[in-house]
């Protein structure tokens, strides 16, 4: 019967080809356009990785110079976007702000309905450049602060932190932020990317596809997990004075209780990786550098305690959101801002998939097996 063929959650179903990235859970590897993600995170700027994802090749020096200049010239918060954000309550979820901002940017775009490859690439680059100011402004307004203008002398990551906090971040902090952006950039047919591809498959526009993707990313089973990890840390309680060992003990017993209560603990597990997320070692190393930089070893205790207890009880490994959450916390972001940072990174992957979907499109329209009441008379 048709019902026997149903794969709930499309688990294990191969939906289409992609040349953007390759996830191999067996070898625990993730390649962007053929390059291992950990090598890109070690050696390349986020701007270079964005160009790699869009174009299929790393940029030449002159291509990079040209794009850097473009990115720096397109960072300012559009007054129309600011006006729209100002209509939203400061206690709404920041993902709602990000979703609204992309929608407003799309509605005001002079080429909104032009889906030629050139127009789409330009829109993707503009969105890449413009989105950090949305996150930065939203973080600031929640703290009753005025927006901070971008600085053209800073690269993408340094400027993101500058616009958010109004002070120059230390080079180690900028670097950890860059690493997180590279790791969050792309991950094949995850829920939000698939959403973007479904929307594109109807021949809708790029900003609609990204807006929909943001809706999918918001949920805690997907991008919202980085925020949820921090809620767990906060629930356990962060005490800056506590030793690493004591923090680990408390975290361990919290996890044991959570698992006994059959709770799903966010930041652990993955639909594709069953032996560990390929991105975690690189992000964990960045978190370690931040823990060292800020002198916050109790955070490492909480991290290790939860991980060890989960491993012992269920052998479930952390995913990228697990080290990313506490990293953003140490940098000074409010917990609710973590997933909007993920948007800024994933704009690169989403738009690369939008281009790919458009270039070889077929309307995505699956079937369902009806299990409601049989036909009846009025
Ligand atoms: N905590 C406790 N148990 C878990 C967890 C978890 N985080 N993840 C999986 N399990 C258990 C689950 O309860 C089930 O056990 P049983 O067979 O006894 O019922 C088994 O492991 C299989 O889990 P599943 O939910 O059927 O597997 P899935 O492939 O549908 O789940 C997942 C993948 C990511 C939805 C799930 O692991 C989860 O809910 N994790 C927490 C949310 C999270 O961290 N999401 C971020 C995903 S990665 C980055 C991103 O996309 O942003």
CATH number for 94:
1.10.580.10
Residues 277 and 173 in one domain: no
Q: Give the chain's domain count.
A: 2
Judge if the beta carbon of residue 221 lies within 6 A of ligand 1. yes
Residues 111 and 259 in one domain: no
Residues 38 and 138 in one domain: yes
- As a whole number, the mean pLDDT across the chain is 96
DSSP code, position 276: -
Q: Which atom of ligand 1 is nearest to the CA of 321?
A: 49
Q: Is position 78 annotated as part of the catalytic site? A: no
> Which tokens in the block code for residue 315?
């052998």
* Long-range contact set of residues 144-149: C-beta below 8 Å, sequence gap at least 24: 147/77, 147/82, 149/76
Q: Whose CA is nearest to atom 19 of ligand 1?
A: 262
pLDDT higher than threshold 70 for residue 2: no
Q: Which atom of ligand 1 is nearest to the CA of 11?
A: 29
User: Ligand 1 centroid to 261 CA: how many Å?
Assistant: 15
Residue 311 lies in a domain: yes
Residue 352 lies in a domain: no
Residue 229 Rama label (left phi>0; alpha psi -120 to 50; beta): alpha
Residues 167 and 244 in one domain: no
pLDDT for the residue 27: 83
Q: Which has the higher per-residue pLDDT, 46 or 27?
A: 46
Residues 237 and 122 in one domain: no
Query: H or E element: which one contains 8?
Result: none
Judge if the beta carbon of residue 33 lies within 6 A of ligand 1. no
pLDDT for the residue 5: 86
CA distance 222 to 227: 10
Q: How much of the chain, in percent, has pLDDT values that exceed 70? A: 99
The C-alpha angle 161, 281, 330, rounded to 5 degrees, equals: 30
Q: Which of 155, 184, 213 is the last residue of a domain?
A: 184
Residue 195 lies in a domain: no
Q: Confirm if 130 and 78 have CB atoms less than 8 A apart.
A: yes
pLDDT higher than threshold 80 for residue 111: yes
25: confidence class by pLDDT, cuts 50, 70, 90 = confident
Residue 347 lies in a domain: no
Mean pLDDT of the 179-201 span = 98
Q: Confirm if 122 and 111 have CB atoms less than 8 A apart.
A: yes
CB crowding 233-258: b at 16 or more within 10 Å, else e:
beebebeeebebeebbebbbebbeeb
How many Cβ atoms are within 10 Å of 4's Cβ, its own excluded?
6
pLDDT higher than threshold 90 for residue 204: yes
Q: How many CA atoms lie within 13 Å of 9's alpha carbon, on the beta-carbon side? A: 7
Residue 209 lies in a domain: no
Q: pTM here?
A: 0.96
CATH number for 264:
1.10.230.10
Residues 66 and 166 in one domain: yes
Judge if the beta carbon of residue 274 lies within 6 A of ligand 1. no
Longest dimension (CA), the chain: 72
139: confidence class by pLDDT, cuts 50, 70, 90 = very high
Distances (CA, A) of 151 to 22, 74, 131: 35, 11, 15
Among the listed residues 205, 207, 321, 353, the single catalytic one is: 321
pLDDT for the residue 275: 87
Number of H helices, E strands in the chain: 16, 3
CA distance 222 to 193: 11
Q: Whose CA is nearest to atom 13 of ligand 1?
A: 264
pLDDT for the residue 170: 98
CA distance 121 to 291: 38
Judge if the beta carbon of residue 346 lies within 6 A of ligand 1. no
CA distance 157 to 270: 28
Residue 283 lies in a domain: yes
Residue 166 lies in a domain: yes
Among the listed residues 187, 207, 222, 329, the single catalytic one is: 222
Q: Confirm if 72 and 126 have CB atoms less than 8 A apart.
A: no
Residues 174 and 241 in one domain: no
Range of the structural domain that residue 64 is part of: 21-184
Residues 99 and 248 in one domain: no
pLDDT higher than threshold 60 for residue 35: yes
Out of 9, 269, 323, mutate this one to test ligand 1's pocket (max ligand atoms within 8 Å of CB): namely 269
Residues 45 and 177 in one domain: yes
Q: Which of 134, 163, 184 is the last residue of a domain?
A: 184
Q: Is position 297 annotated as part of the catalytic site? A: no
274: confidence class by pLDDT, cuts 50, 70, 90 = confident
User: Ligand 1 centroid to 268 CA: how many Å?
Assistant: 7
Q: Is position 329 annotated as part of the catalytic site? A: no
Q: Which of 184, 215, 248 is the last residue of a domain?
A: 184
28: confidence class by pLDDT, cuts 50, 70, 90 = confident
* CB neighbour class for 8 (10 Å; exposed up to 12, middle 13-18, buried from 19): exposed
Residue 193 lies in a domain: no
Residues 163 and 279 in one domain: no
């Amino acid at each position: 019967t048709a019902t026997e063929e149903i794969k709930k959650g499309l688990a294990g179903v191969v939906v289409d080809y992609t040349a953007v990235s390759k996830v191999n859970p067996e070898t625990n590897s993730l390649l962007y356009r053929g390059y291992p993600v950990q090598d890109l995170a070690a050696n390349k700027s986020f701007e270079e990785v964005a160009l790699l994802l869009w174009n299929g090749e790393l940029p030449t020096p002159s291509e990079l110079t040209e794009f850097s200049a473009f990115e720096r010239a397109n960072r300012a918060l559009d007054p129309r976007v600011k006006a729209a954000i100002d209509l939203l309550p400061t206690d709404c979820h920041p993902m709602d702000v990000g979703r609204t901002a992309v929608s407003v940017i799309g509605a005001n775009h002079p080429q909104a309905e032009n889906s030629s490859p050139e127009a789409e690439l330009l829109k993707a680059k503009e969105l890449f450049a413009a989105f950090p100011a949305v996150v930065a402004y939203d973080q600031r307004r929640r703290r009753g602060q005025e927006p901070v203008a971008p600085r053209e002398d800073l690269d993408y990551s340094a400027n993101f932190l500058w616009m958010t906090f109004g002070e120059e971040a230390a080079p180690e902090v900028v670097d950890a932020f860059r690493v997180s952006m590279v790791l969050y950039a792309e991950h094949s047919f995850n829920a939000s990317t698939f959403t973007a591809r479904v929307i594109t498959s109807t021949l809708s526009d790029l900003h609609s596809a990204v807006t929909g993707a943001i809706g999918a990313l918001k949920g805690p089973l997907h991008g919202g997990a980085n925020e949820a990890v921090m809620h767990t840390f906060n629930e356990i309680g962060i005490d800056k004075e506590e030793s690493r060992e004591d923090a680990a003990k408390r975290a361990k017993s919290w996890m044991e209780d959570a698992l006994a209560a059959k709770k799903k603990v966010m930041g652990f597990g993955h639909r594709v990786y069953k032996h560990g997320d390929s991105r975690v070692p690189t992000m964990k190393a960045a978190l370690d550098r931040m823990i060292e930089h800020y002198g916050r070893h109790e955070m490492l205790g909480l991290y290790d305690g939860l991980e060890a207890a989960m491993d012992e009880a269920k052998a479930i490994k952390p995913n990228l959101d697990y080290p990313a959450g506490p990293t953003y916390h140490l940098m000074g972001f409010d917990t609710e801002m973590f997933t909007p940072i993920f948007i800024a990174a994933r704009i690169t992957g989403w738009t690369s998939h939008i281009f790919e979907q458009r270039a070889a499109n077929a309307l995505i329209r699956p079937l369902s097996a009806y299990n409601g009441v049989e036909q009846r008379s009025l």
